[in-house]
Amino acid sequence: MTLVDVPALAAELKSSDKPTVLDLRWWLSGPVGRDEYAKGHLPGAVFVDLDGELCGAPGPGRHPLPDPATLQGVLRAAGVREGHPVVVYDAGDGLPAARAWWTLRWAGHDDVRVLDGGYAAWVAADQPVTTEVPAPSRGDITVRPGGMPVLDADDAAALAAKGLLIDVRAAPRYRGEVEPIDPVAGHIPGAVNVPATDHVGSDGRFRAADALRSRFAEAGLADGVPVGAYCGSGVTAAHTVLALHLAGRTDAALYVGSWSDWITDPSRPIS
């Protein structure tokens, strides 16, 4: 299972063996997730900062892989334990939570789920929130990198040529008509555009598996075709990797550096 809905999580949080819950609220241009956490969060949830704790320092790429030892310290401080379930959530769009899900899976922790609909769905269901900051017992997770397939720039180019490389950014960014964040516009030659917004409904919850499979099939995905995803910096693309898992493609790879890494080498082609 990669998702958990509000009723199921509410029931689990009443049990004697609760999952570890991590609050990943984050926005590229604000507000500050830690401030939102202080205003209210799920009972027992520990805030983890996507930029400062789950990713490495920028360059190249805006959200590179974290140092394994540093990540291990962050996760242990948050109470993450070997073999114990973890639930991650964000404000509701699923993007930072998906990157946290992917990072934990990459680190070798398999029992990780995303709260479908995030904090917005929890509040809409009249579930309890709190401002109390928990003091979790220190976890014992050992980070073992390699639990999820990763692409570098050369891998991404090869996949675009011989498989299916999905650019999950909005269509105008893919076409190079606008570029609000990175200094160069365009996309990786051969990549196919499937915006991440295609994977969710208006409430931010993922579409049914059949609908996801149909959408990816329209983009050219078929049995035996290797697939990977990229975005601006590897956050939104993790959301698409999660959607691919829901559609049955657990081999989907993430180009972590994504467009912000691709453009650091002027010799790489741009469409």
Task: Label each residue of 216-268 as H, E or C.
Answer: HHHCCCCCCCCEEEECCCCCHHHHHHHHHHHCCCCCCEEECCHHHHHCCCCCC
Which residues touch 180 (CB under 8 Å, ≥6 apart)? 173
Q: How confident is the model over 79-136, as pLDDT tens digits?
A: 999 999 999 999 999 999 999 999 999 999 999 999 999 999 999 999 999 999 999 9
Burial classification of residue 56, based on how many CB atoms lie within 10 Å of its CB (0-12 exposed, 13-18 middle, 19 or more buried): middle
Q: Just give the CATH number of 3-124.
A: 3.40.250.10
Mean pLDDT of 221-243: 98
Q: Which active-site residues does the annotation give? A: 231
Distances (CA, A) of 242 to 72, 144, 163, 259: 22, 20, 19, 19
Mapped onto helix, strand or coil, the DSSP state of residue 7 is helix
Buried b (16+ CB within 10 A) or exposed e, 221-233: beeeebbbbbbbb
Please determine, for residue 67, whether its predicted confidence score (pLDDT) is greater than 90. yes
User: At 41, which amino acid appears?
Assistant: H
pTM: predicted TM-score of the whole model, two decimal places: 0.97
Q: How confident is the model at residue 222 (pLDDT cuts 50, 70, 90)?
A: very high
Report domain 150-262's class: alpha beta
Mapped onto helix, strand or coil, the DSSP state of residue 166 is strand
Mean pLDDT of 229-246: 98
Q: How confident is the model over 226-236, as pLDDT tens digits?
A: 999 999 999 99
* Contact between 247 and 165 (Cβ < 8 Å): no
Please determine, for residue 217, whether its predicted confidence score (pLDDT) is greater than 90. yes
Q: How confident is the model at residue 60 (pLDDT cuts 50, 70, 90)?
A: confident
Mapped onto helix, strand or coil, the DSSP state of residue 196 is helix
Task: Report domain extents, the chain.
Answer: 3-124, 150-262
pLDDT of residue 32: 92
Please determine, for residue 14, whether its predicted confidence score (pLDDT) is greater than 90. yes
* Contact between 232 and 88 (Cβ < 8 Å): no
How many angstroms separate the CA atoms of 16 and 245, rounded? 30
**Percentage of the chain lying above the pLDDT 70 cut:** 100
pLDDT of residue 165: 98
Helices (H) and strands (E) in the chain, counts: 10, 10
Mean pLDDT of 233-256: 98
Please determine, for residue 1, whether its predicted confidence score (pLDDT) is greater than 90. no
Give me the residue label for tokens 């983009």. 219
How many angstroms separate the CA atoms of 256 and 152, rounded? 7
Average pLDDT, the chain: 97
Q: Which two tokens stand for residue 81?
A: 């334990």
Q: How confident is the model at residue 29 (pLDDT cuts 50, 70, 90)?
A: confident
